[in-house]
Amino acid sequence: MIKQRRYTLAALAGLLLALAPMGVRAQQEPLIGQYMFNPYLINPAFAGSEGYTFFTFTASNQWAGYSKSPKTYIASFQTSQSGSLLNIFKSGRGWSRRMRSRNSASTGIGAMIYSDWNGDVSRNGFQGTYAYHTPLRGDDKLSFGLSFSLFQFRADVTNEDLPNPDNDPLLMAGKRVSQMSPEANFGAYYTNKGFFAGFTANNLLQSAVRFAVDDKGSRPEVLRHYYLMGGYKMKANYRIDVEPSMMLTTTERGQFNTDINIKGYYKNDYWAGLSYRTSGAVLVLVGAHYQDFRFGYAFNFGFGDVSTFSKFGSHEFMVGYSIGESRGRYRWTRRR
């Protein structure tokens, strides 16, 4: 079984490398460097899959030192059906062992509030998630998730941004462009001990954002984004675990990017890793946990064309807090 999973991971790695070119054009989704520690940020199927309640806050500042650098803030929450806050307050920490069963399906819910800024353009919204987790034979588990969100798109559009600015009453009135739009995401997630793989399709509705009133050509769509990720966690010795992983991102217009990651864990208390992005960046990740808290930091150094804006690199901070689960059940300590 171990050899088979390793061959599966190798095949997945080969597929991702074959599909990913060395360059990528700009994408609409925010770039989160520590998604591997909280896959719910990119895959709704992960919500509640671990059977505990988890709160996280992530703050990212790209191209530090640049006045209009992209900034992203995400506050997220996820829990299993048996791990709802009501059950926690009623039953304490014992609910997890009593309610969880390997032989029965379970459900999960999640929510997040996000704010993504890129210069004079921002996207702020709320997302709610429902996930269904079903066990397969052995330790295999397959999860599906669906998220619905409502976001507000805002932009301080200038004359230079539009092909026919003289015909746009919004600009003539001196108003900011603002629009509310719905969206939906779908995800699938598979785990088997140390191996995991997931697929996500974001922006299923491809909401149109309207800049000019009279120009149909100025209605760009929020592109669908597809994520394919996979990895395998193995023990190097009784204190150190190693986890290689990869993620391929693509859009409707064929914009590709690949993350190649390697992470190490010491005593399940500390972790460090490296991530290479074919879009032109290298990330250094470090983190630790203290009791029920998780802390993480990622430094992103860009190279190539993007290095003009990233003289001070990009920085990302993450803090998480769990309720109702012992240390040994965390995803990055459980996968062996």
Decide if 175 contacts 31 (C-beta within 8 A): no
Class level of CATH domain 2-334: mainly beta
Look at residue 16 in the predicted model and tell me its pLDDT: 36
- Give the mean pLDDT per block of 10 residues along the chain (336 residues): 43 37 47 86 92 92 73 93 49 43 74 87 92 89 95 73 53 64 94 92 82 52 89 90 94 88 90 90 91 91 63 86 64 40
Alpha carbon distance 53, 51 (integer Å): 7
Q: Give the contacts of 81 (CB within 8 A, at least 6 positions apart).
A: 48, 106, 107, 108, 109
Give the residue carrying structure tokens 């990720």: 229
- The full set of domain ranges for the chain reads 2-334
Q: What angle do CA 7, 273, 16 make, to 5 degrees?
A: 40
CA 87 to centroid of chain Cα atoms: 28
Query: Which tokens hold the place of 188?
Result: 């699938």
Burial annotation 276-289 (CB, 10 A radius, 16+ → b, else e): ebbbbbebebebeb
Q: What angle do CA 228, 60, 176 make, to 5 degrees?
A: 100
Look at residue 5 in the predicted model and tell me its pLDDT: 42
Assessment of whether the complete model's pTM goes beyond 0.85: no
